[in-house]
Structure formats: structure tokens, C-alpha cells
Structure 1
Amino acid sequence: MSARAESVTVEAGTFDMPIWLPESGSGPGMLLIQEIWGVGPYIVEVAEELAALGYVVAAPDLFWRVEPNYVGTHDEEGLKQAIEVSSRFEVETGVADLAAAVDHLAGLPEVSAGVGALGFCLGGTMAYLLAARTTLGAVVSFYGSGVPDSLNLLPDIDCPVQFHFGGSDPYIPREQVALVEQAVSGLPNVEIHVQEDGGHAFHNRLAPMFHQPEPAARAWALTEAFLAKNLPV
């Protein structure tokens, strides 16, 4: 596995987007969309895991317009700061930046077979919104708090989508998750998995206040199977 620095240019400027390559040197593209803590050690670990599966992974700096290359700490003070930084983030502009990132990733010589997107928390919402705007091979959305309020976009999404939620998430009430379950019921391209014992950000192994190993392991196994089926390497 190898990694390199890349950047994406849009009308307002340029933002960083590191790239991780699989051992094979090529494969499908995977846009990895950060949480509110930025492209930090946790996102790097996930990128390396996805690259080990055979994907060419790109993790764009979503906050470049408000706090370039911001990386927050996984503690109470870091959470407060990350919430403040994310409060200055404009979602619609961010979706446009991600669409440009998809185009850049798809154009890399190492990307051989389509591009998918996977996001956590804020990134889970952004991956979903991105799927309604651009063509993707597959999307995985982990506990996106903006999903329940944007269910009207489901008809605009043609690619396979996998949603993950925690059934005990204090930031996304269970009744909101139930709305997603109802909305996707019967849709052939969408599946949803709720870890009833999972809270928010349960997959983030570098956030002691959130990480829950068992729900995380179950959800990641489902993710790998979904990607292997819908965006095979």
C-alpha cells in the first residue's frame, strides 16, 4: 500500500485530498468522507483498511473553506471545537466540492472501475446527499444525522445504498431512524442496518467516548460484504 498527496481545484480555490493505493496499484475508487473531526488519524486508518480491500481511496478536506486541514481531538473539548468548526460549514457548497472530488478521483489512472462513497457522521449525510447529485457505483452512509430530514431525495438515487444507524444514538433519535426504515422499505437499491445497542459514532475506534467494538465489527462486516457485491475489486 502507498499514499500520496493530491489536490482538487474548484472555482473558489484548491483543497487537499490524500490518496491511498491498494497493493495491486489500481482498483475502484472510494471517496471517504470525514466526520466533524476532519481527515485525522481515524479517517486515515479507515482509508488504509479500504485500500487493503483493493480500493483507490481519497479523503477530501471537507472543511477547507472554513478551517483548512482541521483535525480535532477525540475528547470533550475537541468535540466542542469540532462542533463549532462544523457549524460554519455550508452543506450545499460542500456537496459541490465533493462532486468535484469524485470527478478528480474518477480521472486518476489507477481508478479502474467506478467510484463509490463512504462517510461517517457528517460524512454519512454528505455521502447520501452526494449520491442524489452525481453518479456513483455504491454508497455507504454511517449515522448521517441529516438523512431523516432529506428522505425526499431517495428517488434521485439510482446506485446501491447501505445505511447504518445506532438504535441508541442520542444525536439521532430512534424514531428518526424508523422514518428512514419506513422510507426505504421495498426499495431494491437500498438496505438499512440498525445496531440497536449502538450509540453515535460507534465505529470510531479512536474516540473513547463513542467507540463500541461489537456494533462496529458487525456494521463493518456488513459494509465489506456490500462493497464486495456492489463495487467489486
Structure 2
Amino acid sequence: MSYVTVTAADGGSFQAYHAAPPGGGKAPGIVLIQEIFGVNKVMRDQADAYAALGYHVLCPDIFWRIEPGIDITDQSQAEWDKAFELFNAFDVDKGVEDLKATLAQLKSMEGCSGKAGSVGYCLGGKLAYLMATRSDADCNVSYYGVGLDELLSESSNISMPYISHIASEDGFVPKEAQEKIKAGLSGNPLVTLHVYEGQDHAFARQGGAHYDDPSAKLANGRTAGFFKANLG
């Protein structure tokens, strides 16, 4: 596995971790959108896992405009403090533009079939929703996306299949926000909402405090089937 350089629409460039599928031939792509801890081992392992299913995966450094090369964990308070500092400084709109640039590069990469979707976790889940409303990705998946209730005015722009995995006890997405999300998205036939009862934020993060193996396997299986159906 390696890193590739992506050129931003407004100038500058940033790195994206590239995981390639086994064997030769054309394969579809996935833009993997990081959590607030950067392109760390959790994200690289996740990229490798999607690649093993038969996809070209790019996981871009979305914090590059603030501090390039962030690679921290969720295992210490100092790292959490750093992660939230980055989260609070992050420009969402510019981040989406960087993800669109990543998507365009992925679709044009040698070996990519030209079809590509996105999947994101936490902050990345929010950005995957915005990829559904603002990009030409062929499908998109959010895991416990934060702040979606404040972005529902864009939901009418969803024109390709979208899944949102919701943790019923998400400490970062209150019940009231969850109800707004369900009400705002459930009427769109392109949207599928999966609620994981009793689960907290980041239930699919390997090694995380709230990791739940059965729920993670269920969500990941649904995502794998969704990508296979919509990307080939």
C-alpha cells in the first residue's frame, strides 16, 4: 500500500493513503473519510479491508489545511484534546471540496472502473452525507455521522443511494437530533437508515471504548452488500 498526491481545486496538494485490490483488472473505488484522529492505523486498516473486498481505496488527509500528517489514536486524553482542536478548526466546505478532488482522482486512476462511492466515520460520516448532497459519487455511507440534523436542508439534493448507520445511544448525536435526521431523510427512497439499538458512538471502531463486535459486523456486512450492489 502507498500514498498518492491529490491536487486541491483551489491550489495546494495533500496526501491520500491508497489501498489497491488484489489481482489485476478494473475495480471500482471508495473514498474512505477519516474520523477526527487523522489517517491513522484504524483508517489504514479499514482501507485495506475495503481493498480486500475488491476496491481501490483512497483515504485522504482532510486536516492538511490545518496540520498535515495527523496520525493519533483515541487512547489518551491528550490525543482526544488534539482531535477536538482539529475538529473545531476544520472547514467543512473546503473539506468537501478536497473530498470531491479525491473522488475525481480516484475515478481517473489506472485500474479504477470509473465508478466510486464514499464511506465516512464520525466527522467522516458527516462528510459522507455531504458527498451524497454535493458530489457525483455513485453511492455514500455514513457511520454515526455528527451534525446531520443541521444539514437536512440539503437532503433534497441526494440523487444516488445513501446509507446512514445510527447509534441509538450516540453521545455526540442526541436523541432529538436523531429524530430530526429520521424525519428529514426517511421519505427519500434513495436513503436507508439503520439504527443500532443500545450502541454508542464509534461502535465499529476497532479497539475503541464503545466497539461492539456484533453491531460492527452487521453494519459492515450491510455496507459491503450496498457497495457491491451499487458499484459492482
| Counterpart secondary structure, 2:85 | helix
Letter in 1 for 2:225: A
What residue number does 2:23 align with? 24
Task: Measure, in 1, the Cα distance between the counterparts of 2:229 and 2:73.
Answer: 35
Task: Return the alpha-carbon distance in structure 2 between the equivalents of residues 190 and 14 of structure 1.
Answer: 33
Tell me whether 1:144 sits opposite 2:145 in the alignment. Answer: yes
* 2:96 maps to 1:86: no
**Residue 176 of structure 1: aligned partner:** 177
| 1:153 positional shift | 0.9
The within-5 A match list for 1:212-231 is 212-231=212-231
What are the residue-to-residue correspondences of 1:108-147 with 2, within 5 Å? 108-147=109-148
- What corresponds to 1:15 in structure 2? 14
TM-score normalised by length of structure 1: 0.94
Unaligned runs of 5+ in 1: none
Residue identity in the other structure for 1:226: F
**Cα distance in 2 for residues equivalent to 1:12 and 1:36:** 24
Q: Contact 2:131–2:140 at 8 Å: present in 1 too?
A: no
Distance 2:13 2:134 in 1: 21
Residue 202 of structure 1 deviates from its aligned partner by: 0.8
Report the alpha carbon displacement of residue 186 of structure 1 after superposing the two structures with TM. 3.1
Partner of 2:205: 204
Count matched residues.
229
Could you tell me which residue of structure 2 aligns to residue 70 of structure 1?
70
Q: What TM-score, normalized by structure 2, do the two folds share?
A: 0.95
Residue 29 of structure 2 aligns to a residue whose secondary structure is strand
Alpha-carbon separation, structure 2, partners of 1:109 and 1:22: 12
Q: Tell me, yes or no, if the aligned pair for 2:124 and 2:142 is still in contact at 8 Å.
A: yes
What's the counterpart of residue 5 of structure 1? 3
Distance 2:63 2:210 in 1: 22
Q: Is the 8 A contact 2:21 2:52 kept in 1?
A: yes
Q: Distance in 1 between the 2:14 and 2:187 partners? A: 39
* Contact 2:108–2:114 (Cα < 8 Å) also in 1: no
Query: How far 1:218 sits from its partner (Å)?
Result: 1.5
> How is 1:95-114 mapped onto 2 (pairs within 5 angstroms)?
95-114=96-115
Tell me whether 212-221 or 148-157 shows the greater mean CA deviation: 212-221
- SS in structure 2 at match of 1:162: strand
Q: CA RMSD in A?
A: 1.2
- The equivalent of 1:156 in structure 2 is 157
Query: How far did 1:156 drift?
Result: 0.7
Q: Distance in 2 between matches of 1:151 and 1:24?
A: 41
Counterpart CA distance in 1 for 2:156 and 2:188 is 10
Instruction: Provide the identity percentage.
Output: 35
| Structure 1 residue 45, shift from structure 2 partner | 1.0
Query: 1:60 aligned to 2:63?
Result: no
Q: Which moved more, 1:192-201 or 1:209-218?
A: 209-218
Q: Give the conservation status (yes or no) of the 8 Å contact 2:122–2:144.
A: yes
Amino acid at match of 1:21: A
Provide the rounded CA distance (Å) in 1 between the counterparts of 2:131 and 2:224: 21
User: Displacement, 1:138?
Assistant: 0.7
Alignment partners' CA distance in 2, 1:67 and 1:167: 33
Could you tell me which runs of 5 or more consecutive residues in structure 2 were left unpaired when the two chains were aligned. none
Moved more, 15-24 or 177-186: 177-186
Please tell me whether the aligned partners of residues 14 and 61 of structure 2 are also in contact (alpha carbons under 8 angstroms): yes
Counterpart of 2:176 in 1: which secondary structure?
A: helix
What is the distance in 2 between the residues matched to 1:185 and 1:74? 32
Which stretch has the larger CA shift, 21-30 or 102-111?
Answer: 21-30
- CA deviation profile, 1:128-151 (whole Å, cap 9, x unmatched): 112211111110011111211111
4+ residue runs of structure 1 moved beyond 6 angstroms? none
